[in-house]
Amino acid sequence: MSLYFEFENTDAFTAGALGEPGQRTFLLQVRAEGQRITIKCEKEQVSALSVYLRKLLADAPDVSHAPINEVMQLSQPVVPEFVLGTVGLAYDTVSDRLVIQLDEIEMKPDTESPAVDQDFSRVRAKITRDQAVAFCKHADEVVSSGRPSCVFCGRPIDKDGHLCPRMN
């Protein structure tokens, strides 16, 4: 079943992670107009979204204030609606808002039968520059709160260590 949501005035746009480092599930969450949409994603998608939002914000005027920390926490219960595929970003100069489009991943059929036309879920939300700055800061904290990275190879270090390919 596909979902389609378009929010002109977003109350919160945030990221979070559930579980222990090394086994975390990453999520994006949009709260607007009395609804909460949670989307399962990858750690790298959260990080990349933060990087690209910062690039869009680079040419915009500075923001006055950011949302309070409590708004940036995931709202419970956390039940993902779909798994994130592609992400689209734009800046709407008329409304002075960033537009974020989150599309469901397109799963290919495992068989050789013809592809069946499927409807995929999509969330499109407009956020303020303040919300974008707060998302970037919070997303960076969520991503970095996992396992530490090896200074030699950059791979995550488990609590028992790891086999570093550069330390042979």
E strand map for the chain: 4-7, 10-18, 25-32, 35-41, 82-92, 97-104, 122-127
pLDDT in tens, 130-160: 999 999 999 999 998 887 778 888 777 777 7
Domain with residue 156: its CATH number is 3.30.2450
pLDDT band at 22 (very low <50, low <70, confident <90, very high): confident
| pLDDT tens sequence across 35-74 | 999 999 999 999 999 999 999 888 777 776 666 677 888 9
For 158, the domain range is 4-106+115-167
Mean pLDDT of the chain: 86
Give dist(CA 121, CA 105) in Å, integer: 9
Number of neighbours of residue 50 by Cβ within 10 angstroms = 19
pLDDT higher than threshold 80 for residue 161? no
Q: Please state the rounded mean pLDDT for residues 116-139.
A: 89
Q: How far apart are CA 113 and CA 41, in angstroms?
A: 28
Q: Which of 38, 29, 31 is nearest to 9 (CA)?
A: 31
Question: How many helices (H) and strands (E) would you count in the chain?
Answer: 2, 7
d(CA 127, CA 95): 10
Domain count, the chain: 1
pTM: 0.81
Q: Helix, strand, coil % (nearest 5) of the chain?
A: 25, 35, 45
